[in-house]
Structure 1
Amino acid sequence: MVSRKDDSLQSISVQLDGKNYTYWSYVMKNFLRGKTLWSYVTGVRIKPTDETATNYANLVDSWEADNSKIITWINNSVTHSIGVQLAKYETAKEVWDHLARLYTQSNFAKQYQLETDIRALQQNDMNVQEFYAAMTNLWDHLALTESAELRIFEPYLARREEQRLVQFLMALRNDFEGLRGTILHHFPLPSVDSVVNELLAEEIRLKSKADKGSVTPTTLSVFAAPRQSPPSNQNRPPPKVSSDECAFCKEKGH
């Protein structure tokens, strides 16, 4: 049986909200396996019923303690509204089976939804790192729908990496059009991770360029040459006297 030294009730960091069951169940299954308690969920380890067995009372106490601990871990990793639904169940297996019935979709349905979300995702106002994290999250969920055979089939993994690269590049902002065109002509095609490194450097370069090129109207007015006002009448030269006028009487003709 499990050592009673492990009394921590802290569960996994992923919280089941009804939309992420595939990932949540994956993390929780591995968590319980690490505690050597997964057999309680599968029903392999059931509550002792043979009252004539040696140390029967201790066996029952130990089983109930582990069973209650698993239920508590599960309750601590789901939203309140989901946790309320679990109160009617007594065993960890019943709790797990209920959640599986409620949230398990066919692989095709999950794949369809994830593929749709991937195609709809655009970088928009996200920086490169934020966009990469959002896209990676969808890719990881989609990978969970793949069969075990596909996950070790090298040609499929290579094709999947190319597809991810295309999806990522297509969803980038037009700011990266130049770099995108260059990457598409690489042979062999780079990995998504190496492309992200290039994009991060390009993002810094574009930001620096934008900061240097941002000149406000006020700044422009400082460097603009001052306008010169037309000369005043006092500075104008005296009008020329016609050669036909008399210098004394100002009459013409003599």
Structure 2
Amino acid sequence: MAETQGAIGSSSRSEMIAQDDNLFYLHHSDIPSACLVSQPLTGDNYETWRRAMTMALLAKNKMSFVDGSLPKPTSPASLVISWERCNNMVISWLLNAIHKPLMPTVVYAKEAAFVWKELKIRFTQSNAPRLYQIQQQIINCKQGQSPISIYYTRIKGLWDEYDAYVTPPVCDCGAIKKLTEIQERDKLIQFLMSLNESYGPIRSQILLMEPMPDTPRLMPYWFKNKDSESFIFHFSLTLSLRQLP
């Protein structure tokens, strides 16, 4: 009996995996009125919209309908029907994720790949202006009256957006690791520079650490320890324990 139930369970899992791998599979929750992203495309948010939409389409295994890697088949008829059904579904998702004033240019498109390409041509701009804006925002990002958690969330969002625009070089040497360490050090310095002066003692102690820690590893200690001495003690102790064999 147990063996039979195990065989049935294994068969069901195999069927589910097969469905997920099927580019033409649509779940019963996949409906034309679904909105896959929280913020619609307005024009100036194209890069963040494209990233969010790409993740959503990849999750639904439908990215191939917009990137041109799955053109419309010519036969058999059943495959053509399946492709058209999925293509129309993806078009509906794209239209639902676009601000209404922008829809007239793509609403009559017959293929999702055309909509995707049209939006890219229309709204893709040089990265330099946006990188300039992000750098300015990072410089002007101060803690002010905000708690550490809110301040860190703001500046980390700017770091992540900047990194999304900049493609790192690819190599097998150790230079990439060193470059990453330098970038993390620079982020930590940016974070510390804009803290309130009440965190001056903590900032001074962190800058004296060798090697300097990265910002994410520091965050739990900001929340648990309110004064500089307990912060430095607990963080230094943790680093020492991690270095033990």
Which TM-score applies when normalising by structure 1? 0.68
Residue 180 of structure 2 is matched in structure 1 by: 157
1:119: Cα distance to partner?
Answer: 1.1
CA distance in 1, matches of 2:197, 2:86: 55
Q: 1:19 to 1:196 in 2, by over 3 A?
A: farther
Letter in 2 for 1:115: Q
Aligned pair partner of 2:118 in 74, 94, 98: 98
Identity of aligned residues (%): 25
8 Å CA contact 1:23–1:144 kept in 2: the answer is no
The alpha carbon displacement at 1:3 in A equals 1.9
1:138 Cα deviation from its structure 2 partner = 0.8
2:137 alignment partner in structure 1: 117
Give the alignment partner of residue 195 of structure 2, picking from 138, 152, 172: 172
Distance 1:26 1:7, change over 3 A: same
Alignment coverage as a number of residue pairs: 200
Residues 37 and 52, structure 2, Cα contact 8 Å, conserved in 1: no
Radius of gyration: which is bigger?
1
Q: CA deviation at 1:126?
A: 1.4
Match among 192, 196, 199 for residue 222 of structure 2:
199
Structure 1 unaligned blocks of 5 or more: 207-254
Out of 163, 178, 183, the position equivalent to 1:143 is 163
User: Equivalents in 1 of 2:125, 2:146: separation in Å?
Assistant: 31
Q: Does 1:32 align with 2:57?
A: yes
Deviations along 1:51-74, one digit per CA (max 9) or x if unpaired, are xx4x32x33322221112112222
Q: How far has the Cα of 1:160 moved from its partner?
A: 0.8
Counterparts of 1:193 and 1:159, CA distance in 2: 15
RMSD over aligned CA atoms reads: 2.6
TM superposition shift of 1:142 = 0.9
Match of residue 21 from structure 1: 46
**After superposition, where does 1:76-91 map in structure 2 within 5 Å?**
76-83=96-103, 85-91=105-111
- Runs of 4+ with >6 A deviation: none
Distance 2:67 2:100 in 1: 24
Residues 184-236 of structure 1 show CA distances to partners (whole Å, capped at 9, x for unaligned) of 1111111102332333345x459xxxxxxxxxxxxxxxxxxxxxxxxxxxxxx
Q: Secondary structure at the match of 2:66?
A: helix
SS, match of residue 87 in structure 1: coil
Compute the TM-score of the two structures, normalised by the length of structure 2: 0.70
